[in-house]
Every structure is written in C-alpha cells, then in structure tokens.
Amino acid sequence: MSWKESVIDAFDVFGPASLAVISFTEAIIQPVPPDLVYLPMLVAEMGNTPTIIWLWLVVTISSVLGSIVGYWIGGRWGNPLMHRFAKPKHVSKLIFLSEKYGTIGIFIAAFSPIPYKVFGWIAGMTNMEKKSFVAAGLAGRGLRFGVEALLIGFYGQQALDTMIWFLDHEILLAIALICSAIMTWYAWLWWNGLGEQIPTPE
C-alpha cells in the first residue's frame, strides 16, 4: 500500500468531514489531492444529487479556506520558506507569473493540477488583492470539482479510472495545461492585434 492510500484510508472513515480536512490542509501544505477522497465519494453517491452538491460545496469551500491560510503564511513567512525549499530562480519565476497574470494565474492553478498551495503562498508574498485571490480560487476550484462531479454522474467508474490516472500523472497534465494556456494567450494577443494590421477602407 502506498503512502497516499494509507492517508486516504485514514481519512475515509469520517466521510464529508474527512473530505473537508484533507481539502483544507492540501491547500496549505500537505501533498495529497482531495480528489483522491472526493471522487470515490461521488461514485458511492451516484444518483443522489443533493449529497453530490453537498460534497462539491464541502470540497470547494474548504479548499479555498485553506488557501486563505496559505495566503497568510505566504505574507508572513513565504519568502524564507520558498527560498529554503525552492531554488531562487524558480521562486523568481513564480513571483513573476503571479504579478503578471494575477487573478488568471490563480484561476488556472485552482482549476488545474498545478499546486494550488504554492500560488497561495506566492499571492501572499506579493500582497495580491485578497478579494481577487478568493474569487479566482472559488471560480477555479468550483469549476474543477464541479466538472469532476458531472463526469462521475454521466460516466461513473469509467470517469473515475480516467481521473485517477490523470492524478497519478499530474505533472504531465500540469505541463499540458500550462502549454495550452500559453498558446491561448498568444492566440488572443494575435487576434487583438489583427485590427492594427488591416488597412482601414477609404
């Protein structure tokens, strides 16, 4: 049994309360994604719409509340912590991404497998506007966990197996999402710049 499975078995005993705890702490510091507890719960409650909505609210709100603690940690101790556990050049890049993309960057981190906690620390370090940080987190986390609930509702065990595979290969998925976001950004810049290149009819 892997260490992840041991953690999940320990938390699974307490139902939605365990989901809230693991989602809250994952957004602060621990590495186990809440999806590994959330997804089997969704499968067990297939067809029970009120309970599925309740689980979605629990995992989303607890994750965002945890990120607020991460934001506070980042504002208070983020700089020495980040430089202790990461190379200075990587810290500089994360700060640059947070300052340049702000709310969009937090939304992407909240929706994707990119470690949400890291962007919470960085947002606190850079004094990002807290309301924007929370709003982006709610939108991104709500969308991510909502999509998972919908897919489980439509495809059941097949969707669960696929999602677990993605979680086991989250680094590859994160790279793919980052590349997609960059390509979309440049496509948008190109589209906006078209008007400057087309001559105005006389």
What is the mean pLDDT of the segment spanning 151-164?
A: 67
Look up the pTM and report it. Answer: 0.69
Most confident of 35-49, 57-71, 107-121: 57-71
Whether residue 197 is contained in a domain is answered as no
Whether residue 102 is contained in a domain is answered as yes
**Which range (45-54, 65-74, 134-143) has the least confidence?**
45-54
Q: Does residue 173 register a pLDDT over 60?
A: no
Q: What is the pLDDT of residue 197?
A: 46
Whether residue 176 is contained in a domain is answered as no
Whether residue 81 is contained in a domain is answered as yes
36 pLDDT band, cuts 50/70/90, is: confident
Q: What is the pLDDT of residue 194?
A: 47
Q: Rounded distance, CA 98 to CA 81, Å? A: 17
In a 13 Å sphere around the CA of 173, the CA atoms on its Cβ side amount to 16
Q: Rounded distance, CA 40 to CA 170, Å? A: 18
Q: Does residue 24 register a pLDDT over 70?
A: yes
192 pLDDT band, cuts 50/70/90, is: low
The amino acid at residue 171 is I
Whether residue 183 is contained in a domain is answered as no
Domain that holds residue 83: 3-170
Q: Does residue 172 register a pLDDT over 60?
A: no
Whether residue 177 is contained in a domain is answered as no
What is the mean pLDDT of the segment spanning 7-21?
A: 72
**Domains identified in the chain, total number:** 1
Percent helix, percent strand, percent coil in the chain, to nearest 5: 85, 0, 15
What counts of helices (H) and strands (E) characterise the chain? 9, 0
Q: Rounded distance, CA 52 to CA 101, Å? A: 33
Whether residue 17 is contained in a domain is answered as yes
Whether residue 191 is contained in a domain is answered as no
